[in-house]
Amino acid sequence: MAALTHMIDSEVFLAFSTYATIVILKMMLMAPMTSYFRLTRKVFANLEDTKLISSTEDKKMIRVDPDVERVRRCHQNDLENIIPFVVIGLLYALTGPDLSTALLHFRVFAGSRICHTIAYVTPLPQPSRGLSWMVGMGITFSMAYRVIGIALYL
Amino acid sequence: MAALTHMIDSEVFLAFSTYATIVILKMMLMAPMTSYFRLTRKVFANLEDTKLISSTEDKKMIRVDPDVERVRRCHQNDLENIIPFVVIGLLYALTGPDLSTALLHFRVFAGSRICHTIAYVTPLPQPSRGLSWMVGMGITFSMAYRVIGIALYL
Amino acid sequence: MAALTHMIDSEVFLAFSTYATIVILKMMLMAPMTSYFRLTRKVFANLEDTKLISSTEDKKMIRVDPDVERVRRCHQNDLENIIPFVVIGLLYALTGPDLSTALLHFRVFAGSRICHTIAYVTPLPQPSRGLSWMVGMGITFSMAYRVIGIALYL
C-alpha cells in the first residue's frame, strides 16, 4: 500500500466514480417516484402537502397507501445497501485492485440494484428481489474482505 | 483528469470539507430534536425508554405523535438528500471545478437544506418545502452531470 | 494543510479504512437479522414475500411485529450515526491528526456502536442505549470540530 495516492489517478478510480454516481442517481430517483405516487393516489404524510392538489387542507388525504409504502421501502433498502457500497467501494478502489476485477464488482452491483428496484416496484414474485439483494450484499462483502485484508490496522 | 490527486490539496476540497461537515452536522442535530420532542410529549418507541421519565414502565407512552413523526420524516429526508450530496460532492471536488462554481454549488445546497428543515418543522405552507427540496436535488444532479461527463468509464 | 495527499498514505488513513469497514459491516448485518426475525416470526411487509414460507400468499402475515420493528429501528439508528461518522472520519483522517488520537476516536466509536446494538436488541434497561448513542455522537462531533477548525473555507 506504498502508493495509495497513485490509485486516485487510476482507471479503477474513474470506474468507481462512474458507477458510484450511477447507483446514487438511481437511489435519488426513488424520491420523485414517491412524489408521483403521492400526487396520483392523493396520499400525503403532511397536512400542508394536501394543498398542492386541493384548495383546502384535507385530512382525508393523510393516510397510508400500499403502493406509496412499497416505493418508500425500496428507497429505504437503497439507503441501506447503496451507501455501504459507496463507502466500501471508495476504500476498495484505493487498494489497487485489477481493473477487470474492480469493473466486475461495480457492474454486477449496479445491475443487481437495478434488478432489485424493478423486482420491488413491479412487484415480481420472490425470490427475484431476494436474490438481487443478496448479489449486491455479496459484492460489498467481497470488496470489504479485500479492504480489511490490505488495510488492517486495529 | 491527469492530476486528480492535486485536487485534494485545492481550495475546492477545503470548501467541500467545510460544507459537507456543515450539512452532516445539521442532519445529526435532527436526532437531539427528536429526543427533545419525545421527552416533552412523552411519546416513545421502546418500552424501556419510558423509564427515563417515569418510575415504572408505562405502555401508554408507546404511541405515535404527529410532531415526533414530522421531525423523523425531516431527518429521513436529510438522509435521502444530504448523503448523496456528500458522495457526489466528493467526486465533484476531485474533477477540478472552478472555485467560484464549486462554492456556488455548496452554498446553495447548504442553504436549501436549512430552508427545507425550517419549512418542514415549522411547518411553512407549501410549496416552500417542495421548492427547497428541489433546489437541493438540482445541485446534486448538476454536480453528478459534471462527474459523469469527466470520469465516464463504464 | 499543505500536504493533504500525504495523509492518504498514512497509518491514520489505514486505521480509518479498517474501522470504517468494521462499522459499515456491523450496520449491514442488521439486514440479515431483520430477515431472520421476519422468517421466524412469520411477519412480512410485502405480500409476495409470504410465499417464501407458505404455498399461497397469506395476507395474515402482513403485520407489524414489535421485535422486527426493534431491529429495524436499530438499523435506522445505525444509518443516522454510522454514515456521518464515515463521512466526517474520512475528512478528519485527511487533516493529519496524531495516530494515537485518531485511533482513540475510531476505537471508541466502534465500541460505542457495538454496545448500542446489544443494548437495543437485547434490550438492556436505559440509559445504557442512550449513553452508548451519546458517546458515538460525541466522537463524531469531536472529529467535526477538528475538520472545521482546519479546513474552514466558507
A58-114 pLDDT per residue, tens? 788 888 888 899 999 999 999 999 999 999 999 999 988 999 999 999 999 999 999
For residue B65, what is its C-alpha cell? 405523535
For B87-122, b/e burial (b = at least 16 CB within 10 A) is bbbbbbbbbbbeeeebbebbeebbebbebbbebbbe
Looking at residue B3, its pLDDT comes to 57
Residues 6+ apart with CB under 8 A from A33: A71, A121
Signed CA dihedral, B94, A109, A80, C75: sign only: negative
Instruction: Give the dihedral of Cα atoms C68, C70, C76, C82; nearest 10 deg.
Output: -120
Neighbours of chain C (3+ CB pairs under 8 A): A, B
Tell me the chain A residues in contact with residue C22 when contact means C-beta distances shorter than 8 Å: 148
From C27's Cα to the closest Cα of chain A, the distance in A is: 8
Residue A4 has pLDDT above 80, yes or no: no
Cα(B1)–Cα(A10) distance, integer angstroms: 10
Looking at residue C51, its pLDDT comes to 82
What HEC string does C42-85 produce? CCECCHHHHHHCCCCCCHHHECCCHHHHHHHHHHHHHHHHHHHH
C127-146 pLDDT per residue, tens? 899 999 999 999 999 999 99
Residue B91 has pLDDT above 90, yes or no: yes
Q: Mean pLDDT across chain B, nearest whole number? A: 90
Q: Please name which of C112, C74, C132 lies closest in space to residue B46, comparing C-alpha atoms.
A: C74
Report whether A38 contacts A31 (CB < 8 A): no
Model ipTM value: 0.91
Interface contact flag, C46 A88, Cβ < 8 Å: no
Cα(A86)–Cα(A73) distance, integer angstroms: 20
C68-86 pLDDT per residue, tens? 999 999 999 999 999 999 9
CA B141 to chain centre: 15
For residue A50, what is its C-alpha cell? 394536501
Share of chain B above pLDDT 70, in %: 96
Residue C1 has pLDDT above 50, yes or no: no
Which of the four pLDDT bands, split at 50, 70 and 90, describes residue C99? very high
Count, residues in chain B: 154
For C71-86, b/e burial (b = at least 16 CB within 10 A) is bbebbbbbbbbbbbbb
Helix (H, G, I), strand (E, B) or coil at B112: helix
Residue C7 has pLDDT above 90, yes or no: no
What HEC string does chain C produce? CCCHHHHHCCHHHHHHHHHHHHHHHHHHCHHHHHHHHHHHHCCECCHHHHHHCCCCCCHHHECCCHHHHHHHHHHHHHHHHHHHHHHHHHHHHHCCCCHHHHHHHHHHHHHHHHHHHHHHHCCCCCCHHHHHHHHHHHHHHHHHHHHHHHHCCC
Nearest to B21 among C2, C91, C137 (CB): C91
Share of chain C above pLDDT 90, in %: 65
For residue B7, what is its C-alpha cell? 485536487
Question: Mean of the pLDDT values across residues A53-58?
Answer: 80
Which of the four pLDDT bands, split at 50, 70 and 90, describes residue A125? confident
Chain A window 50-79: which residues touch B at a Cβ cutoff of 8 Å?
51-52, 75, 79
Tell me the chain C residues in contact with residue B11 when contact means C-beta distances shorter than 8 Å: 153
Interface contact flag, A91 C21, Cβ < 8 Å: yes
Neighbours of chain A (3+ CB pairs under 8 A): B, C
Looking at residue B54, its pLDDT comes to 79
Cα(B100)–Cα(B103) distance, integer angstroms: 5
Q: If you compute the radius of gyration of chain A from its CA atoms, what whole number of angstroms results?
A: 20
Cell numbers 450484499: residue: A137
Report whether A27 contacts A78 (CB < 8 A): yes
Which of the four pLDDT bands, split at 50, 70 and 90, describes residue A28? very high
Nearest to B5 among A8, A24, A28 (CB): A8
Looking at residue B152, its pLDDT comes to 84
